[in-house]
């Protein structure tokens, strides 16, 4: 066999090790599954005492199906055949007479988890990389190889739907606690533990009675609750897959082949095609981090404000040691508080929270500069202040350290003039809020040192963000495309459309937040300044000027286009009563409003590609999706344009 290594040991246990040829991670391609079928044929002839399935890759267990094969489905028959391939094979695995065990170390996702669920036992290796999940929904499809059948049987339907509808993952300890894994053991004993467990004869843990009822006669209770949850986040016309998952589980025992019309509709949907495309775009962005071996251990951040404080905390969360500098300790304190809250939320265990907090060093005198591999400047948006800082920084820095600015609007060409080695300055432009936004623009000014730009991309990957290389022009990509869109939205308000109607139109289009609420969130003064810089000298919208005049600056001042309470805009409908929830759709929306608002964004994106600010249309689509949340099911602004 090309992809599987088979050993029969002295106890008549068969160890099947998946080591997919020519790839660094395991995926369940057609070939890999065909070989696995052959293996089951062989074992039918000479049944072992037990079968243990494990991975030969350092990277993890199995990442899922081969998504490349998914892009080659051009007919309904092929789609059904792909589902049948895994569904039938894993049913066969689940039915063999000898005990089977999946020994899972590292990621176990999608088809990999479905294979594991078809084994009698699941042994999780407890280490940081081990995670279990069924993320198919994020590609606009469903776990069709038995996941929708077996995960609810294993951990109960509510927990299973939660995993399948969000795509989130579980670590080894939680997998054990929820009953997904039979055991969670440290790496050094995993082989012995697998051998013992597969021969143990131990029965599978049975679901508690209530869970069995919910997975049987009371299915509709769970299904109705799940539909309500999904409806809060995704409209069925944009994202049909989560609704299909609930129906396939509730009405067809998770067997998509029993509902061919659902299967065909989902597998061939434009949403699935576009989300798969977005997945590959994301892989392309990740690839920018691989051009350099640069690895940062220590980071120094200057400016502990909104951005600097959160950037420092994020880098700590990703394992680095970070010194955080500001004018004095009082200015650093709020950032430390926010960091502690972030660590507590993300790491949960007190020991890990403390370890993280120990790696965040308040550093008013800037001693950390001398040891840092990356220095990030995030002080006031002021050229003179940044010049003074750079002059002082450069002589103290390690010669090969990356020097980066987080500036949104200043020209790198102007900022770097004071440096001995101006070519070393790069832009590493984060978005607010740092912990939430996946994209980071890596800005190269004319004549920038390519090694520094590549090192900056590698650093961005190291902290699990997506680097997008852009040229140094006003607004780079993301802010430059947002500006004309927000301007158009405010022009509509000037023309008499209510802010609620404008926002509702764009939510219905598929944006994560309406543009008027976005202006309120960013701050009206900032929006005005950015507009003046990025809108090419056009007259600012009347509504914006009037509110700024009254110092109604949006969320931060409690009043902007909306009144803000408890961090939420208080939206009202035409009759003046508060809307029950955002997007309740009761405001009058003029025909074609969304199209007309999104048009300037699309046109600006195309222009930036033509001008070479971003290298090609694919990367522009990726940047706008991951930087603004632009409706992912459309595949991005330029894909949307070409589809129309």
Which amino acids are annotated catalytic? 429
Using the contact rule CB under 6 A, the part of the chain among 81-89, 320-328, 588-596, 619-627 near ligand NAI is 320-328
Residue 308 is a binding residue for ligand NAI (CB under 6 A): yes
Place of tokens 């589902």: 83
Q: How far is the CB of 460 from ligand NAI (least distance, A)?
A: 14
Residue 530 is a binding residue for ligand NAI (CB under 6 A): no
Residue 329 is a binding residue for ligand NAI (CB under 6 A): no
**Cα–Cα distance between 322 and 336 in angstroms, integer?**
12
Structure tokens at 637: 């602004």
Residue 326 is a binding residue for ligand NAI (CB under 6 A): yes
Length of the chain counted residue by residue: 644
Pairing of strands 360-362, 321-325: parallel
Residue 327 is a binding residue for ligand NAI (CB under 6 A): yes
Residue 304 is a binding residue for ligand NAI (CB under 6 A): yes
User: Hey, how many other C-beta atoms are within 10 angstroms of the C-beta on 527?
Assistant: 27
The answer to whether 271 and 241 are in contact (CB under 8 A) is yes
Which residues does residue 5 pair with via DSSP β-bridges, in sequence order?
Answer: 17
List the one residue from 211, 292, 321, 407 that touches ligand NAI (CB under 6 A): 407
The answer to whether 277 and 614 are in contact (CB under 8 A) is no
Using the contact rule CB under 6 A, the part of the chain among 79-87, 322-330, 350-358, 481-489 near ligand NAI is 322-330
Residue 378 is a binding residue for ligand NAI (CB under 6 A): yes
- Give the per-residue SS3 of 84-114: HHHHHHHHHHHHCCCCEEEEECCEEECHHHH
Taking CB atoms, the residue at the shortest distance from ligand NAI is 305
Nearest to 65 by CA among 3, 19, 109: 109
Handedness of CA 299, 301, 307, 310 (dihedral sign): positive
- Select 476 or 640, whichever has its Cβ closest to ligand NAI: 476
CA dihedral 148, 51, 129, 464 (to 10 degrees): -60
- Select 132 or 630, whichever has its Cβ closest to ligand NAI: 630
List the one residue from 264, 381, 413, 449 that touches ligand NAI (CB under 6 A): 381
Nearest to 28 by CA among 75, 69, 71: 69
- Select 91 or 306, whichever has its Cβ closest to ligand NAI: 306
Restricted to residues 416-445, the positions that interact with ligand NAI (CB under 6 A) are 430, 432
List the one residue from 276, 299, 317, 389 that touches ligand NAI (CB under 6 A): 389
Residue 470 is a binding residue for ligand NAI (CB under 6 A): no
Structure tokens at 291: 């051009």
Using the contact rule CB under 6 A, the part of the chain among 291-299, 400-408, 505-513, 542-550 near ligand NAI is 400-408
Helix axes 76-95, 30-45, angle to 10 degrees: 30
- Select 144 or 368, whichever has its Cβ closest to ligand NAI: 368
**Cα–Cα distance between 486 and 526 in angstroms, integer?**
12
List the one residue from 25, 29, 166, 306 that touches ligand NAI (CB under 6 A): 306
Residue 81 is a binding residue for ligand NAI (CB under 6 A): no
Residue 379 is a binding residue for ligand NAI (CB under 6 A): yes
Residues near ligand NAI (CB under 6 A) are: 302-308, 325-327, 331, 378-381, 385, 389, 406-409, 430, 432
């Amino acid at each position: 066999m090309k992809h599987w290594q088979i050993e029969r040991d002295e106890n008549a246990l068969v160890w099947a090790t998946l080591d997919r040829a020519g790839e660094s991670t395991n995926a369940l391609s057609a070939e890999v599954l065909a070989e696995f079928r052959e293996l089951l044929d062989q074992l039918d002839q000479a049944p072992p005492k037990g079968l243990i399935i494990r991975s030969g890759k350092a990277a993890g267990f199995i990442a899922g199906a081969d998504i490349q094969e998914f892009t080659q489905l051009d007919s309904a028959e092929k789609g059904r055949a792909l589902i049948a391939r895994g569904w039938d094979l894993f049913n066969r695995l689940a039915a063999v007479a000898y005990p089977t065990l999946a020994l899972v170390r590292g990621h176990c996702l999608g088809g990999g988890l479905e294979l594991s669920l078809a084994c009698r036992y699941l042994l999780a290796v407890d280490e940081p990389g081990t995670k279990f999940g069924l993320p198919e929904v994020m590609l606009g499809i469903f776990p069709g190889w038995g996941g929708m059948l077996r995960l609810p049987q294993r951990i109960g339907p509510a927990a299973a739907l939660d995993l399948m509808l969000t795509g989130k993952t579980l670590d080894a300890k939680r997998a054990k606690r929820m009953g997904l894994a039979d055991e969670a053991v440290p790496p050094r004993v995993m082989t012995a533990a697998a051998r013992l467990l597969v021969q143990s004869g131990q029965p599978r843990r049975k679901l508690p009675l209530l869970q069995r009822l919910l997975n049987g006669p009371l299915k509709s209770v769970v299904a109705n609750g799940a539909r309500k949850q999904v409806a809060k986040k995704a409209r069925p016309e944009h994202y049909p897959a989560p609704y299909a998952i609930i129906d396939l589980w509730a009405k067809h025992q998770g067997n998509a082949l029993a509902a061919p019309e659902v299967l065909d509709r989902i597998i061939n949907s434009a949403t699935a095609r576009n989300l798969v495309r977005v997945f590959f775009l994301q892989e392309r962005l990740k690839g920018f981090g691989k051009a350099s071996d640069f690895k940062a251990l220590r980071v120094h951040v200057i400016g502990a404000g909104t951005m600097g404080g959160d950037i420092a905390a994020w880098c700590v969360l990703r394992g680095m040691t970070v010194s955080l500098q500001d004018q004095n300790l009082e200015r650093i304190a709020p950032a430390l508080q926010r960091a502690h809250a972030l660590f507590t939320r993300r790491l949960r265990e007190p020991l890990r929270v403390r370890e993280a907090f120990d790696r965040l060093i308040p550093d008013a005198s800037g001693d950390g500069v001398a040891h840092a591999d990356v220095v990030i400047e995030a002080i006031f948006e002021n050229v003179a202040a940044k010049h003074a800082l750079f002059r002082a920084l450069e002589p103290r820095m390690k010669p090969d350290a990356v020097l980066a600015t987080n500036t949104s609007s200043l020209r790198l060409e102007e900022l770097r003039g004071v440096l001995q080695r101006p070519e070393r300055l790069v832009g590493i432009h984060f978005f607010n809020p740092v912990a939430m936004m996946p994209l980071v623009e890596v800005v190269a000014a004319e004549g920038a040192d390519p090694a520094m730009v590549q090192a900056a991309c590698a650093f961005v990957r190291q902290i699990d963000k997506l680097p997008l290389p852009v040229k140094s022009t006003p607004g780079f990509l993301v802010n430059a495309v947002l500006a004309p869109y927000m301007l158009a939205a405010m022009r509509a308000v000037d023309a008499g459309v209510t802010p609620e109607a404008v926002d509702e139109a764009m939510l219905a289009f598929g944006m994560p937040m309406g543009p008027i609420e976005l202006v309120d969130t960013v701050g009206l003064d900032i929006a005005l300044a950015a507009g003046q810089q990025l809108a090419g000298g056009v007259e600012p919208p009347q509504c914006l000027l009037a509110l700024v005049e009254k110092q109604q600056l949006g969320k931060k001042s409690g009043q902007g286009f909306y009144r803000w309470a408890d961090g939420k805009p208080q939206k009202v409908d035409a009759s003046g009563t508060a809307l029950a929830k955002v997007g309740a759709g009761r405001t009058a929306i003029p025909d074609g409003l969304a199209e007309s608002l999104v048009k300037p964004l699309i046109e600006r994106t195309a222009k930036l590609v033509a001008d070479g600010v971003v290298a090609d249309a694919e990367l522009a689509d990726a940047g706008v999706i991951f930087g603004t949340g632009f409706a992912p099911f459309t595949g991005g602004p330029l894909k949307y344009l070409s589809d129309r």
